[in-house]
C-alpha cells in the first residue's frame, strides 16, 4: 500500500493492454492463407511496402514527443519535460541500433523491418519509466527492448501465431519490460508530476539505485494483473465475435485483397498487385485466381 504501482505514460495501460488484445485476436483469427511458419519450412510473408512502413514508424517516433512529455501534465515542469524527451530519444535510438546489429549478426542482412520494430520497442519500453530514470537507464532499457522484440518475434513464429507487423513483441513484450524497468532503473531523484508542477515529497527509487525490491514487486504485481486480465477479456470477446462468423474476411476476399474486396478500389493503383504468396498479379489475375480456386465471395477463410 505504501509503494504504488507506477506507469508514467502508459507502457502498461496503453501498450501492454493493446499488445495482449492483439495476441488474443491473432490466436482467435488464425494465420493468413498461405502462411507457412519457419518450423514447417516457410517463413514470414513478404512485406507490403517496407519504405512506407519505415516512414510510418518515424511518424510514430515523432508523435511520442507529444505522448511522453505531454504526460508531465504541466508545462511548468520544464526540467521533467526535457528529461522525458531526452530519455525517449535515447531509448529509441539504442533499441533501433541494437535490434539492427543483433539481426545482422543473426542473418548477415541489414533488416529494415526489424530496425523499425526495434526503435518502436524502445519507445514502448521507455514510456512507463521515462520520467524517473536517468539517461544511462534509458539507454539500457532500450537495449534490452531490442533483444526482447527479436525474441518475441521468434517465439510467435515458433508457436505458429501470425502477427504480421510484430504488434505483440513490440507492445505486449516491451510494454511489460518497460513497466518492470521502473522497479530496476528508477533513479531515486525525481518526484511525481502534477498539473501544478512536480511533487517532490515522494521520489521513485528502483533496485539499481539502492531502493530495494519494493517498487519492483509493485511493478511485477501490477503488470501481471493487467496483462492476464487484458488477455482473458480480449480472448472472450474475440472468440465471441468469431462464433458469429464476423471476425474474419472470406477466403475469396483474402485472396483478392481487402482494398479491392471491401472498397472496390486499390489504395495503390500504380503498383503491381501481389497475392499472399508474394506473386505479382494484375487485378484481373487476382480475380481469376479466386474463381479458379472455386471460392465464392461468401466462403469463410477456414473452409
What per-residue string of b and e applies to 207-233 under the rule 16 or more CB within 10 Å gives b? Answer: bbbebeeebbebbbebbeebbeebbee
166: left (phi over 0), alpha (psi -120 to 50) or beta: left
- Per-residue pLDDT reduced to its tens digit, 251-301: 988 888 888 888 888 777 766 555 555 555 555 665 666 666 665 544 444
d(CA 239, CA 236): 5
- Phi/psi of residue 194, each to 5°? -135, 170
Which pLDDT score, from 0 to 100, does residue 256 have? Answer: 82
The reported pLDDT for the residue numbered 261 is: 87
Predicted TM-score (pTM) of the model is: 0.89
Query: Residue 301: what pLDDT?
Result: 42
Output the pLDDT for position 299: 41
- Angle between helices 112-127 and 50-67 in degrees, nearest 10: 10
* pLDDT beneath 50: ranges in the chain: 297-303
Could you tell me the residue ranges of all domains in the chain?
A: 11-243, 251-292
User: Which pLDDT does position 76 carry in this prediction?
Assistant: 87
- Second CATH level (architecture) for the domain 11-243: Orthogonal Bundle (1.10)
Amino acid at each position: 500500500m505504501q509503494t504504488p504501482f507506477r506507469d508514467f505514460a502508459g507502457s502498461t495501460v496503453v501498450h501492454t493492454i493493446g499488445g495482449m488484445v492483439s495476441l488474443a485476436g491473432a490466436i482467435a483469427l488464425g494465420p493468413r492463407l498461405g502462411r507457412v511458419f519457419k518450423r514447417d519450412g516457410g517463413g514470414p510473408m513478404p512485406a507490403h511496402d517496407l519504405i512506407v512502413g519505415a516512414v510510418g514508424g518515424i511518424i510514430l517516433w515523432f508523435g511520442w514527443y507529444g505522448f511522453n512529455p505531454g504526460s508531465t501534465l504541466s508545462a511548468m515542469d520544464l526540467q521533467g519535460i526535457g528529461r522525458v524527451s531526452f530519455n525517449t530519444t535515447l531509448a529509441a535510438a539504442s533499441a533501433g541500433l541494437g535490434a539492427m546489429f543483433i539481426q545482422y549478426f543473426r542473418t548477415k542482412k541489414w533488416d529494415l523491418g526489424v530496425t523499425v520494430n526495434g526503435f518502436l520497442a524502445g519507445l514502448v519500453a521507455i514510456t512507463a519509466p521515462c520520467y524517473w530514470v536517468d539517461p544511462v537507464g534509458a539507454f539500457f532499457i532500450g537495449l534490452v527492448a531490442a533483444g526482447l522484440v527479436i525474441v518475441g518475434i521468434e517465439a510467435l513464429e515458433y508457436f505458429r501465431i501470425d502477427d504480421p507487423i510484430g504488434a505483440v513483441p513490440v507492445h505486449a513484450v516491451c510494454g511489460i519490460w518497460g513497466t518492470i524497468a521502473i522497479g530496476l532503473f528508477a533513479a531515486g531523484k525525481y518526484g511525481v508530476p502534477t498539473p501544478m508542477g512536480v511533487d517532490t515529497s515522494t521520489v521513485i527509487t528502483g533496485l539499481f539505485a539502492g531502493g530495494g525490491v519494493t517498487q519492483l514487486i509493485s511493478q511485477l504485481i501490477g503488470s501481471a494483473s493487467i496483462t492476464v486480465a487484458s488477455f482473458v477479456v480480449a480472448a472472450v470477446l474475440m472468440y465471441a465475435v468469431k462464433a458469429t462468423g464476423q471476425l474474419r474476411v472470406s477466403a475469396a476476399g483474402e485472396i483478392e485483397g481487402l482494398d479491392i474486396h471491401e472498397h472496390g478500389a486499390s489504395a495503390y493503383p500504380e503498383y503491381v498487385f501481389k497475392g499472399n504468396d508474394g506473386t505479382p498479379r494484375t487485378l484481373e489475375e487476382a480475380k481469376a485466381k479466386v474463381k479458379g480456386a472455386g471460392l465464392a465471395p461468401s466462403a469463410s477463410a477456414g473452409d
